[in-house]
Amino acid sequence: MGLAVVGMIAGMALGFAGYFGGFGAFLLVAALGAIGFVVGRFAEGDLELGEFFRSRDDRRDRRR
């Protein structure tokens, strides 16, 4: 499944949540989607927990 399809499904889920549940439900679905995205990236190995706790100087030095 391509990223465009995943984005479309996420947008539809947010739209349904906003329409049927109001703005609070919209925010809840958006927050849970963001958490799910980060957990998925951890599961795939694209993110490491240490990346969130390093200083900016360490990240710059690592990219060079």
Domain of 52 in residue numbering reads as 23-64
Global pTM? 0.63
Instruction: Kindly state whether residue 63 falls inside one of the protein's structural domains.
Output: yes
Instruction: Kindly state whether residue 57 falls inside one of the protein's structural domains.
Output: yes
Say which residue, 63 or 50, is predicted with more confidence. Answer: 50
Provide the Cα torsion 58, 55, 41, 22; round to 10°: -150
To the nearest whole number, what is the mean pLDDT of the chain?
A: 80
Say which residue, 46 or 28, is predicted with more confidence. Answer: 28
The runs of H, that is alpha helices, within 1-63 are 3-44, 56-63
Instruction: Kindly state whether residue 4 falls inside one of the protein's structural domains.
Output: no
| Total number of domains in the chain | 1
Say which residue, 16 or 49, is predicted with more confidence. Answer: 16
